[in-house]
Amino acid sequence: MMPRRDFLRTASAAALALAARPPRAAAAPRRPNILYVLADQWRASAFGYTGDPNARTPVIDALAARSVDFRTAVSVCPVCTPYRAALLTGRYPTSTGMFLNDLYLPDGEVCLAETLKAAGYATGYIGKWHLDGHGRAAFVAPARRQGFDYWKAAECDHDYPKSHYYEGDSPVKRIWEGYDAYAQTDDARRYIAAHANGDRPFFLTVSYGTPHFPHATAPDEFKALLPPESIRFPPNVPAESIDEKLRREAQGYYAHGMALDRCVGRLLDALRESGIERDTILVFTSDHGEMMGSQGCPACQKQVPWDESILVPFLLRYPALHGAQGRVVRTPIVTPDILPTLLSLAGVPVPPSVEGEDMSALVRGGGPEDRAVLFMNVAPFDNFSKGREYRGVRTARHSYVRAIDGPWLLYDTMADPHQMRNLAGDPAAADLRKDLDAKLQAALKRIGDEFKPKAHYLAHHGYRVRANGAIPYGPDEGEVQSPRR
């Protein structure tokens, strides 16, 4: 692997050399802006365009119709910090060591914003970060922001009516005015307007905290649109588990989603009003899903290997490339693929450290019809994953998962979209299981993961965890923990 500083120095030199060339008769086309809109814990199925009867998402539904709509977008490790680390590095959790919440992403990793900045981009980050590991309320120093310059962010805060953030280089804690997603959207609109006609393209990430719990703090105007008794649950939610508590959690979850739908609309307005809609890559996605009672899991659960947890929305709109007409893509894409895909679309070289695959051909109208993508939970915590480590592969049709003691889950999601018939032990599915297991083993071999018990990975990196398996994150709970390199 090329050392981080060497790669970034080379990329910066190339950008400067390009800028220093004498003008030609026709200027080279400007690279696209990139607006990355990231929700937290919004599962792929919880939208109008994916058929959820409870969802009220007209803006995002219309966006899906004009986007490349990846219907099999997989969160590589469905929990906050591991996803975010995989997004920014293009690498797998077992490779970076970032497989638990509240770890610090090492400075030695080559990250997306650093790469784009070296190629001449202005970079900005608004909202939830969750990669600093110095405490959820701590100031994230500029040197630890992985290439983002503009900064209005917090490590982690889900107190939506009064959540905090830090601005620029100031260590003074500030509070977003009102419901934080609205205030963050306003700030993003100002950023877009200020950079729309600048001499550099921009890469802006807007990282919302919702619809992650607590759900009761969703705006009342949206909760009123969905009374708890009106909520319809999918068939994989056991009838006996549907009580008033679950209904109220679901009400708040969908209400947070309605509020974010409004926010996405205001971001789209900002692009259009600034005249840069056509030349901006817009991504709308989430870090992982939410079980909300499915498979007998309670509300507010993630990390588990079912589709409600691992599948996320992934809409990519780039009108200059694919026009105004959208299309649905069933070919799977997984978190580490996002970095090389965006860099390729922007015409920026991909760092040699990246493990994900460039899927930009799917945006351009080509690419593979199917593939098997790897997802995992290396060290489950807080009683998630039913305490079981796992590795799995997802194809356009099948989901296959192994636990340490052998095959655990196998679903034909075309015939069984709610994953209610586990074929892992079905003799009639033996050949299918063998084929998917071979694909899983090949994926693990490619990244050098031997799939050992979680104790091995904890010991390898020297992590100290609570009794529930989580990294301590309180202000008085020990030192910063970061992967060993």
Residues designated as active site: 80, 130
Residue 180, classed as helix, strand or coil, is helix
Q: Is residue 469 a contact partner of residue 381, using CB atoms and an 8 Å limit? A: yes
Report the half-sphere exposure of 333 (CA within 13 A, side-chain side): 30
Q: Cα–Cα distance between 124 and 126 in angstroms, integer?
A: 7
Work out whether strand 333-334 and strand 73-74 pair parallel, antiparallel, or are unpaired: parallel
Q: Is residue 317 a contact partner of residue 329, using CB atoms and an 8 Å limit? A: no
Compute φ and ψ for 255, nearest 5 degrees.
-65, -40
DSSP state of 467: T
DSSP state of 177: S
Q: Within 10 Å of residue 317's Cβ, how many Cβ atoms? A: 24
Q: Cα–Cα distance between 106 and 426 in angstroms, integer?
A: 44
3-state helix, strand, coil in the chain (%, to 5): 35, 15, 50
Cα 258 versus chain centre, distance? 19
Q: Furthest-apart CA pair in the chain: how many Å? A: 72
Q: Cα–Cα distance between 423 and 409 in angstroms, integer?
A: 7
Q: Is residue 87 a contact partner of residue 288, using CB atoms and an 8 Å limit? A: no
Q: Cα–Cα distance between 127 and 176 in angstroms, integer?
A: 10
The three-point CA angle 386-392-395 to 5° equals 130
Q: Within 10 Å of residue 416's Cβ, how many Cβ atoms? A: 14
Helix H or strand E encompassing 183 = helix 180-195
Q: Cα–Cα distance between 351 and 431 in angstroms, integer?
A: 38
Q: Is residue 201 a contact partner of residue 33, using CB atoms and an 8 Å limit? A: yes
The residue written with tokens 């993508």 in the block is 373
Helix H or strand E encompassing 188 = helix 180-195
Q: Cα–Cα distance between 359 and 137 in angstroms, integer?
A: 36
